[in-house]
Amino acid sequence: MSSATAEISALVDREYKEGFITDIESDTLPPGLDEQVVRAISAKKNEPPFMLEWRLEAFRRWQAMVEPSWAHVDYPPIDFQAISYYSAPRSPEDAPKSLDEVDPKLLETYEKLGIPLQEQKALAGVAVDAVFDSVSVATTFKANLAEAGVIFCPFSEAVRDHPDLVKQYLGAVVPQGDNYYAALNSAVFSDGSFVYVPKGVRCPMELSTYFRINAMNTGQFERTLIVADEGSYVSYLEGCTAPMRDENQLHAAVVELVAMEGAQIKYSTVQNWYPGDAEGRGGIYNFVTKRGACRGKRAKISWTQVETGSAITWKYPSVLLEGDESIGEFYSVALTNNRQQADTGTKMVHIGSNTSSTIISKGISAGRGQNTYRGLVKIIKGAEGARNYSQCDSLLMGDQCGAHTYPYLEVKNPTAIVEHEATTTKIGEDQLFYCRQRGLSEEDAISMIVNGFCKEVFRELPMEFAVEAQKLLGISLEGAVG
């Protein structure tokens, strides 16, 4: 795998160089960030005045903040003035003309994941002139959604077409000044998704960013807002198992979820950004703020994530359990190989009565990876009858990796029952021996044991995602043992 990643690295580096040539294009702002840049971004997107004000407020707050340093990760300081905060989608001339120009190792990975040819082209960034199949799929998709009354569109479109909804909910869960990266995102966010599910509607299909073709290449400062009105249900899939090509090193996304009375939001993520080469050079910094609020009674928000990519992951999908009997769930598999670092976990804040939360976190460390679970379970004084169960297990592969657990439990109400348990082990020699003895190769045996370790999380994923996630884990671990 290390040679494969090195070659992918070469590919990414090449792209990056070419990215600079497009500087002359009028649609790319020069590197640097000041108030003018924020105004320019807003102007380029034809945003209404309230949006600009909101961005400027966020920018002012960001200026007064300092970069957080408490996470268990290590990276050189980021020069925020060296980043270009707006670039229009790359022009097709820069992209590879056909799959022949794409790194064969990358293609090999796609092959292993069983990705259809047309999708491979899209993922590798091949310029496609002809309308390919999934566009028509997407069209039918949109028709179905419209019939159900579900709004699913790029964020910038929502700002234009549904300004009242955006005004009402933007920043309602993650305010502009929430943290350093959320403030930065609020000031300069490029685009993202907006979802509104009306009262009593069960969204007829899984919503996936993958089908939102017209809003590709918005990865760097993505902003997602999902509102599920009373009694509705929506399942949202983010990311994709195939390694995504991306030339931006810093990613600071914000995801806000709002679930009203009796509503359910299921948010699944598979994150496989470029992790850097075996020595940890390059690779994406993924600093994400994700938070959901259960606003009404019996609301439910469920986060499921499979994190295998990025050089550094810094992400704590959280749930504010405001409504009585509301439920928060967090299921996570985080894998770090080579020199990857992940500091991830969740926050469950119990505010209403009889709220409950479940946290299942599985960390796998291989190579020189450092994997940290950091979580908070907070039961405020008025939260009667709160219940939490947390389980954080770590699997170690290789003697130079690390696995760390930092749970915070803050309980201010005596009727709460809070349980946390964590274990750290390596794959047992006896387990391996048992599998080998029955004719499994070492690699298959490890893959099987690891998948068993992660089963509790995978079963929360939508079916086809779960299958891909299993394959992905196997590929990410190739060469980690033996």
Partner 1 sequence: MTAQAVVDYLAAQQRLEPELPAPDLPWLVELRDGGVERLRVAGFPSLRDEDWRYTNVQSLLKKPFEMGSIGQCDVDAAFVSRTAIPSLECHRVVVVNGIPIPHLSDATLVPDGIRVSSLADLLVSDPGRLEPYLGKNLVPDPHGFTAMNSAFLGNGLVVEIAPGQVFDKPLEIIFVASAATESTMAQPRNLVVAGKGSRLQVLARYVAIGAQETLTNVVTEVIVDADAHLTLYQLQEESKNSFHIGGLFAKLRRGSRFDAFAITLAGGLVRNDLRVDLDGAGAEVNLRGLYLARGRQHIDNHTQIFHNEPGCISHEHYKGVLDDRARAVFHGRIVVQPDAQKTVSEQSNQNLLLSRDAEIDTKPQLEIYADDVKCAHGATVGQLDKEALFYLRSRGIAEETAKRLLIKAFANDVLLAVSPDSLRDHLLTRVEMMLAD
Q: Which of 98, 136, 400, 441 binds partner 1 (CB under 8 A)?
A: 400
**Would you count residue 353 as binding partner 1 (CB under 8 A)?**
no
Give the interface segment with partner 1, choosing from 114-122, 132-140, 257-265, 389-397 (CB under 8 A).
389-397
| The Cα angle at residue 411 between residues 407 and 417, in degrees rounded to 5 | 90
Cβ 403 to partner 1, closest distance in Å?
5
Cβ distance to partner 1 smaller for residue 179 or 190: 179
Distance, in Å, from the CA atom of 51 to the CA atom of 159, rounded to the nearest integer, reads 8
Q: Which helix (H) or strand (E) holds 470?
A: helix 463-476
- Taking CB under 8 A as the criterion, the residue among 340, 356, 405, 470 binding partner 1 is 405
Q: Is 425 in the site for partner 1 (CB under 8 A)?
A: yes
In this chain, which stretch among 211-219, 262-270, 277-285, 407-415 interacts with partner 1, using CB under 8 A? 407-415
Amino acid at 227: V
- Could you tell me how far CA 461 lies from the centroid of its own chain? 14
Query: Of residues 32, 177, 402, 474, which one binds partner 1 by CB under 8 A?
Result: 402
* Closest C-alpha to 253, from 209, 212, 295: 209
Q: Is 431 in the site for partner 1 (CB under 8 A)?
A: no
Segment interacting with partner 1, rule: CB under 8 A, options 222-230, 261-269, 271-279, 401-409: 401-409
Q: Helices 117-124 & 133-148, crossing angle to 10 degrees?
A: 90
**Does 122 contact partner 1 by CB under 8 A?**
no
Q: Which of 250, 254, 251, 228 is nearest to 176 (CA)?
A: 254
Cβ nearer to partner 1, comparing 245 with 368: 368
Q: CB under 8 A: which stretch of 186-194, 424-432, 444-452, 456-464 binds partner 1?
A: 424-432
Cβ at position 287, least distance to partner 1 in Å: 19
By CB under 8 A, name the one of 397, 445, 469, 473 that touches partner 1: 397
Binding of partner 1 by 445 (CB under 8 A) = no
CB of 421 to partner 1, least distance (A): 4
- Indicate the residue among 239 and 407 with the shorter CB distance to partner 1: 407
Q: Report phi then psi at 379, rounded to 5.
A: -110, 110
Rounded to whole angstroms, the Cα distance separating 133 from 118 reads 8
What is the distance between the alpha carbons of residues 390 and 329, in angstroms, rounded to a whole number? Answer: 10
Taking the least distance from each CB to partner 1, the nearer of 231 and 363 is 363
Whole-angstrom Cα Rg for the chain: 22
Residue 442 as a binder of partner 1 (CB under 8 A): the answer is no
Q: Nearest approach, Cβ of 365 to partner 1 (angstroms)? A: 8
d(CA 201, CA 229): 8
Name the token pair of 227.
């509102």
To partner 1, the closest distance from the beta carbon of 336 in angstroms equals 13
Give yes or no for residue 358 binding partner 1 (CB under 8 A): no
Q: Do 91 and 123 touch, CB atoms closer than 8 A?
A: no
Residues in the chain: 482
**Identity of the residue, 2 or 391, whose beta carbon is nearer to partner 1 in the bound complex:** 391
Among 179-187, 196-204, 350-358, 420-428, the segment contacting partner 1 (CB under 8 A): 420-428
Are the beta carbons of 391 and 362 closer than 8 angstroms? Answer: no
Among 252, 416, 473, 480, binds partner 1 (CB under 8 A): 416
Beta-carbon contacts of 410 under 8 Å, excluding residues fewer than 6 positions away, are: 376, 377, 378, 379
| Shortest distance, position 402 Cβ to partner 1, whole Å | 4
Closest to 225 (Cα-Cα) out of 165, 288, 182: 165
Nearest alpha carbon to residue 176 among 259, 314, 54: 54
Site for partner 1 contains 67 (CB under 8 A):
no
**Residues forming the site for partner 1 (CB under 8 A):** 70, 72, 379, 381, 394, 396-426
